[in-house]
Amino acid sequence: MNLNSFVMRLFKNKVHFSAVLLFLIGGCNEIIEYSPYKAGVKSPDEDLNIKAMEQISEFSQSEFRPFKLGLVGDSHTYYDYYEKQIRQLNKHDDIDFVVHLGDITLSGIYREFIWFRDITAKLNHPMITIIGNHDYLSNGEYMYQEMFGPLNFTMVYNDCLLVFFDNVIWEKNVEDPDFDWLESVLEEGQDYRYRFVFSHIPPWSDQFNTGNEYYFNMLMDKYNVDLSIHGHTHNYRYKQPYDTGPPYLVVSSSQKGEIFFLHVEEDGFYPGREDY
């Protein structure tokens, strides 16, 4: 092989390689990322909780009307199981909306938030999502706020106060949750028919020291909270663990093959649980 032939073959190989490389890069927008830890979402994916609440408010009544909530939690990266939960929830046309009790990711990275979003988009009901401790990892706190909105927020539905409270401590690197905010919204909400608090971590769990556990339940008791609802432990539990205060409901993880409900009626409320 003379020098000219060698140069021409080398040039052709480089051209072919470059063409293949450009083709692969062009078709991999959803596969290749600069970093899994990046934050920032596209405009349609911003403030999903706010958009869900706007949708829910269209059906809310100023006077009490019975309603039914779907409840799930701790989907992490159990995506096959979470998708089954979505399909099961879609079988219930009588659900007003669904609440996810947090830990929608395992490591708080961008791709996990996107996967969660894509699966949740198959749900036929509005969903409100609270933040869990795993969602604080990496850039998760910022991803959550961009994708869903504020960490603490409230909503009134059919004359019932629903409080969504960020009570993560360790991953947030704080000593206490924002109890001042929680007390202020509960104090202002005494005239509603029922008061429900949703937060990821039950007060007897690992992240709460004795003082925080006591103070959380004290607020529930002082301001007549009817039910406190949680995830985090991955196991179902419904009990009244303290001498005073409301009953507590904990929903299991997606991996357990269960969905949960909260039935709110004229004469009271009760949880529901369904295996599939």
Tell me the mean pLDDT in the region 3-20. 48
Alpha-carbon distance of 33 to 38, in angstroms, equals 9
Beta bridge partners, 129, equal 100
Q: What is the pLDDT of residue 15?
A: 46
Residue % of the chain over a pLDDT of 90: 84
Give the confidence band of 5 by pLDDT, cuts at 50, 70, 90.
Answer: low
Alpha-carbon distance of 205 to 187, in angstroms, equals 25
For residues 146 and 217, state if they share a domain: yes
For residues 113 and 246, state if they share a domain: yes
Give the confidence band of 3 by pLDDT, cuts at 50, 70, 90.
Answer: very low
pLDDT greater than 70 at residue 22:
no
Alpha-carbon distance of 126 to 137, in angstroms, equals 26
Domain assignment present for residue 137? The answer is: yes
Which run of H or E residues covers position 81?
A: helix 79-89
pLDDT in tens, 147-185: 999 999 999 999 999 999 999 999 999 999 999 999 999
Tell me the mean pLDDT in the region 192-214. 98
pLDDT in tens, 112-139: 999 999 999 999 999 999 999 999 999 9
Tell me the mean pLDDT in the region 9-16. 49
Torsion angles phi and psi, residue 148, rounded to 5: -115, -35
Output the domain CATH number for residue 109: 3.60.21.10
* Alpha-carbon distances, residue 205 vs 28, 168, 182, 241 (angstroms): 42, 11, 19, 12
For residues 115 and 21, state if they share a domain: no
pLDDT in tens, 30-44: 444 435 555 665 556
Residue with tokens 């096959």: 80
Alpha-carbon distance of 160 to 194, in angstroms, equals 5
pLDDT in tens, 79-110: 999 999 999 999 999 999 999 999 999 999 99
Domain assignment present for residue 122? The answer is: yes
Q: Residue 219 is encoded by which pair of tokens? A: 């607020």
Domain residue limits at 25: 1-32
Give the confidence band of 21 by pLDDT, cuts at 50, 70, 90.
Answer: very low
Domain assignment present for residue 37? The answer is: no
Q: Residue 248 is encoded by which pair of tokens? A: 């507590």
For residues 26 and 101, state if they share a domain: no
| Mean pLDDT of the residues in the chain | 90
Tell me the mean pLDDT in the region 237-258. 98
Q: What is the pLDDT of residue 31?
A: 45
pLDDT greater than 50 at residue 11:
no
Alpha-carbon distance of 16 to 22, in angstroms, equals 10
Q: Residue 274 is encoded by which pair of tokens? A: 């369904």
Chain center to CA of 13: 50
For residues 108 and 211, state if they share a domain: yes
Tell me the mean pLDDT in the region 4-29. 47
For residues 12 and 78, state if they share a domain: no
Residue 159 CB burial class (10 angstroms; 0-12, 13-18, ≥19): middle
For residues 14 and 54, state if they share a domain: no
Nearest Cα to 261, choosing from 77, 2, 71?
71
Q: What is the pLDDT of residue 232?
A: 99
Domain assignment present for residue 249? The answer is: yes
3-state secondary structure 173-206: CCCCCCHHHHHHHHHHCCCCCEEEEEECCCCCCC
Which run of H or E residues covers position 68?
A: strand 67-72
Residue 60 identity (one-letter amino acid): S
For residues 17 and 91, state if they share a domain: no
For residues 226 and 120, state if they share a domain: yes
Most confident of 24-28, 32-36, 234-238: 234-238
Specify the number of domains making up the chain.
2
For residues 9 and 78, state if they share a domain: no
Q: What is the DSSP string of 219-269?
A: HHHHTT--EEEE-SSSS-EEE--SSSS--EEEPPPGGG-EEEEEEEETTEE
Q: What is the pLDDT of residue 20?
A: 41
- In three-state secondary structure terms, 91 is coil
For residues 143 and 198, state if they share a domain: yes
More confident residue, 206 or 274: 274
